[in-house]
Amino acid sequence: MVGIAAWGAYAPRLRLSRKAVAVANAWVAPNLMGKAKGERSMANWDEDALTMAVEAARDALGPADDRSHIDALYFASTTAPFVDRLNAGIVAGALTLEKAISSADVTGSQRCGLGALAQALAAVKGGSARQALVTAGEHRRTRAASTQEMDFGDAAAAFVIAEGPGAAEFLGRGTVTDDFVDHFRGADSDFDYQWEERWIRDEGIVKLVPPAIRQALADAGLTAADVKHFCFPSTFAGMAASLAKTLGIAPEAVRDNLASRLGEAGSAHGPLMLAHALDEAKPGEVILVAQFGQGAEALLFRVTDAIDAARPARGVVGALAERKEETNYLKFLTFNGLIEWEKGMRAEKDNKTALTTLYRNQDMILGLVGGRCRETGVVQFPRTRISVAPNNPAVDTQEPYRFAERKASVLSYSADYLTFSMAPPNHYGMIVFEGGGRIMLDITDVEPGDVDTGLPVKMVFRVKDVDDKRGFTRYFWKATPDRSAIAAQAAVAAE
C-alpha cells in the first residue's frame, strides 16, 4: 500500500489581466478579445520552472529542518532551465536533501508531471525508496499576441509519496503511449508549434484519454460512478465535461480547471489540479486525475481520514488567494524576454559563474546554510572556520545551520534606482533572523513603498542572475514580505 503523505503548491503572486493583453494586441489580433476574461499567473523576472517547483516542495515538506526521510526526488518540467545539467540536483540542494538520494528529471511531454508521480508511487511501492518527493513546475514562453499567451500560466505542485495510505491512498493507474503530435518544440526553438485545435480534440484527446482512464478504473476495481473529483486540464472549454459524459463520470465531479484564475500550467497542471482536489476533498472520496500528451496518463486515489492533518500551509487555495493584479503588458513581455530594451551601462558586466566556488559553497548558495558555533551558540552567515562569537573566536566549532525556514524581518533597506534591476527600483537590505544571524539580501515581489524597517519577511529561492553569454542561470535566496505574518500583526493591532 502506498499513497500521498503530503502535498503543496505554488503560483506566482502576479496575475496578468487577460483584458490588458487583448487590448494591447487589438490592432493586430482582434480575435483575442474573445479570451479577455479573467487572469493568468505571471512569473516574476526572477522565477522559473525550477524556483516554483522548489517553493511547491517547501509547501509540501513544511518548515522542518530534518528532511532525511526523503530518499528519492523527481523533478518534472518541459521548461527546465538546463538541458544538460541535473535540474533535480539543484532542487535537492535548495531543499538541503541528503546526498544519498536518487534523483531524476522527467520531461518530454505535457503529461510528464503525472508520469513522475507514477514513477514515485512505483518506487515506494516496490521498496526502492522509503519516501519520494515529486515536484513539477512550468514556465512556458509564448509568442506575443498568440492564443497560448492568453491560455497558459505559470505554477508548480509537489507531493510526498510514502508507504501506507497516507492522506490519499493510491488505487490504480492507466496509461497510453502514442506519438500523436498536437504540438512540439524543437531543440533550437523558443516556442511551441501548435497544430489545429479540432484535430487535437477529436483525434487526440477524445480517442486517447478514455482508454487510459478505463484502464485505471479497472486496475482499481472501481467504476466511473465512484469518482467524486475528476481533474483533467485542457485549454479547450468543456473538454473535461465531455470526457466525463463519455466515461459515465457524474457532471458534478468535474473539477474547475483554474483557467480563469491561473491559466494552464502545462505538465504541472494535472498535479496542480490534484493538489487542489486534495485541498478540498473529504475522507472516502475518490479522485481521478488524467492528462493528455503523446498518449495519456490517469491516476486514482482515495482520500483517507488523515487528510485534514496533512493539509499544507498554503496549498492551491492559499496560492490562489495570494495575488496581485498586473495590467502592465509591457512588463510581462520584458520579464519573458520577448522584447529587446536598453538596460544601460550598469548592466554591462560579465555574469560568468565560478563553478568551483559554486560547488565548494553549494550548501550556502543553494541551501542558505550558515553556521552555528557549538561552544557559544552564535549563528552566522556565511559559515567560516573562525566563529564571530565575541570574546571567543573559536576555530572549527561550527555546525550547519539552515536559515531558509527561519522567521526574519528587515533591519535596514534601500530602494536603489541607480543599479541595474529588471524591476526597478532594486530593493535590498539587511535581514535579521529569529534565533540569530543576519544576511544582506535582495528583496523581491515588492513595489516602491512596500518595504519598511521591521517588515516581516520570508525566504524564497529565486534566480539571482543569468549569464546570457554562456546560458547559465545562477540561483540564490531572496527576502519577500511574509504576508501571513503581516496580516496577523494587523489583526492583533486592530484588537
DSSP assigned state of 87: H
The string of pLDDT tens digits covering residues 278-292 is 999 999 999 999 999
Q: ∠ at Cα 68 (163, 379), nearest 5°?
A: 150
* Amino acid making up residue 81: P
User: Does 304 lie in the same domain as 446?
Assistant: no
CATH number, residue 439: 2.40.50
* pLDDT at position 416 over 90: yes
Give the β-pairing of 369-373 and 295-303.
Answer: unpaired
Q: What is the model's pLDDT at position 493?
A: 79
Whether 374 maps to a domain, the answer reads: no
Q: What is the model's pLDDT at position 401?
A: 96
Instruction: With cut-offs at 50, 70 and 90, classify the pLDDT of residue 188.
Output: confident
Whether 39 maps to a domain, the answer reads: yes
DSSP assigned state of 284: T
Whether 343 maps to a domain, the answer reads: no
Q: What is the model's pLDDT at position 328?
A: 97
User: Does 232 lie in the same domain as 130?
Assistant: yes
Whether 314 maps to a domain, the answer reads: yes
Residue with cell 519516501: 131
- Give every CB contact of residue 400 below 8 A, 6+ residues apart in sequence: 363, 369, 370, 371, 372, 383
Whether 149 maps to a domain, the answer reads: yes
Query: What 3-state class would DSSP assign to 88?
Result: helix
Instruction: With cut-offs at 50, 70 and 90, classify the pLDDT of residue 345.
Output: confident
User: Does 415 lie in the same domain as 321?
Assistant: no
Whether 378 maps to a domain, the answer reads: no
Q: How many structural domains compose the chain? A: 2
The pTM for the full model equals 0.96
Q: Which domain holds residue 108?
A: 2-335
Cα separation, 228 vs 414, in Å, equals 51
User: Does 445 lie in the same domain as 317?
Assistant: no
Q: Domain boundary at 335, 354, 385, which? A: 335
Do 107 and 29 form a contact (C-beta atoms < 8 A)? no
Whether 51 maps to a domain, the answer reads: yes
User: Does 436 lie in the same domain as 323?
Assistant: no
CATH number, residue 232: 3.40.47.10
User: Does 432 lie in the same domain as 312?
Assistant: no
User: Does 407 lie in the same domain as 329?
Assistant: no
Above pLDDT 70, what percent of the chain? 100
The string of pLDDT tens digits covering residues 237-288 is 999 999 999 999 999 999 999 999 999 999 999 999 999 999 999 999 999 9
Whether 356 maps to a domain, the answer reads: no
Lowest-confidence region among 68-77, 172-181, 423-432, 481-490:
481-490
Query: What 3-state class would DSSP assign to 125?
Result: helix
Q: What is the model's pLDDT at position 184?
A: 95
* pLDDT at position 495 over 80: no
Instruction: With cut-offs at 50, 70 and 90, classify the pLDDT of residue 347.
Output: confident
